[in-house]
Every structure is written in C-alpha cells, then in structure tokens.
Structure 1
C-alpha cells in the first residue's frame, strides 16, 4: 500500500469513527430521551451521561489529531470492552445492541493496524 493510499484510508476511518462518536456523545450530553432510557436499562445513574458523553466527544476530537490518535485508539478499545459488557449485563440483555460496539472495535483495529504499518513508497 502506498503512503497516499494509507493516508486516505486512515483519515477516512478516523473521520468515520469521529463522526459516530461525536453524534453519540452529543446526544448523551443533550439528554436525548433514547440515551436516558438506555442508561436506565444499563443500570447506570442518569448523571453518567456526562462523563460518557464527554469521553465520546473527546474520542471524536482526538481521532482527528494525529499526535494523539494512538492513545485515543487504545482508549476506544477499553470503551468497547465496557460497552459490550454493559449490553450483556443489561436487564434484559441487549444482544441486538452488540453490533455497534463490535463494529467500532473492528474499525478501530483497522485504524491501529494502519497506524502501525510501514507504508511502501
């Protein structure tokens, strides 16, 4: 893969993930009814929407800053594990909601692999 191709794919993945995290974080911070209901079904207090929303908006910003991207990618792995656990332990378990965190983790893994690969000139 050439440097140009790698950069295009990397920025595309980072932008896609950033857009998704920004939307998720903003809806939590604004207190959208769906997000409140989700937090309650997960057994979290409603005030948890603030730290979760802020971290998701932070992920969005950090993904677009190449100097911090690797740290953000590792943080997203932790977020993904917590999200998967949250959906499994919810009452009732929300197996149908596992697709989102799993997709985020797959895209995140691709971003990490691209960041660590040595481009061909």
Structure 2
C-alpha cells in the first residue's frame, strides 16, 4: 500500500478513537447515541468504568499517528484489548448487529495493524531507536587512482 494511503488510514482511525474517547468522557447524550454513563450501567458496569475505557482509547489514538512501528504496535495492541472487551460486552448483552457492527470491524482492523507493526524481536519494544552512526568516508576515484599508481592495492 502506498505510504500516504497508510498514513491517511492511521489518521482516520486515530480520529475515530479520539472521538470515541471524548464521547466516553462527555457527561450527557451525544449526537451519536445516549450518554455512555447510561450505556455502561445498562451493560452492567459502573458508570465510572467509561473513564477506564476512554483513557487507553484516547492514548492509543495519539500513538497511532506517531510514525514509528513501535508506537503503532503498542497502540494497535492496546486497542485490540479494549475492543475485545467491547465485542464481548456486545455479545453478552445481545446487542443488535445494527448497533454493534463497528466494534468487531475495528477489532479486526487493529489486529491486522498490530501484526503489520509487530517487532521482529520482542526486546525491540524496550529499546530506543538507534541513532545513525558516523560512517567512514569512501575513498574517491581520484584517491584510488593515486594509490594504484603508487602500487598500493
């Protein structure tokens, strides 16, 4: 996929999850649905639980737009855990598919992005990106001709 298209996808997903986090902190009804304090109570959770879901959702959304594989992997993995709970909640509560189709779609998307951005070695998650080291200069053509004329290999 072209890099610009992937960057646009990350920004779009980040926007969606920031919007989701903001609506979880919103005290009343939103233009999308009823207040999350009411929804969480209907699902059998305490209403303050929405803050525990909204915080990692918002933080992961910010990490999605940082163009490093490590941060995008951590964001996608965090959102995969959050969305697993979301999908499970929708299944347990027998929510209609019309209301809950976005959660499994985003779960699948985040799973694919987590796999695409996974590190080759898990210890790479704890390492800081290496800074480029100074390279030894290559000899120029003129310099190699001079060495050849002197008899140096």
Q: Same fold (TM over 0.5)?
A: yes
Cα-to-partner distance string for 1:50-101 (whole Å, 9 max, x where unaligned): 11111111121111113311111111111121111111122xx114233111
Cα-to-partner distance string for 1:1-49 (whole Å, 9 max, x where unaligned): 5xxx1x2232122111111111110011122332122111211111112
Deviates more, 1:13-22 or 1:96-105: 96-105
More helix by share: 1
2:88 maps to which of 81, 85, 89: 85
User: 1-side partners of 2:4 and 2:101: how far apart?
Assistant: 25
- The higher radius of gyration belongs to 2
Regions of 4+ moved over 4 Å = none
Q: CA deviation at 1:114?
A: 4.5
Q: Is the 8 Å Cα contact of residues 39 and 46 (structure 1) preserved in structure 2?
A: yes
User: Is 2:70 the partner of 1:48?
Assistant: no
User: 2-side partners of 1:113 and 1:12: how far apart?
Assistant: 19
User: 2-side partners of 1:54 and 1:32: how far apart?
Assistant: 18
CA RMSD of aligned residues (A): 1.9
Deviates more, 1:103-112 or 1:15-24: 103-112
Residue 144 of structure 2 corresponds to which residue in structure 1?
Answer: none
TM-score, structure 1 normalization: 0.78
Larger RCO: 1 or 2 (CA < 8 Å, sep 6+)? 1
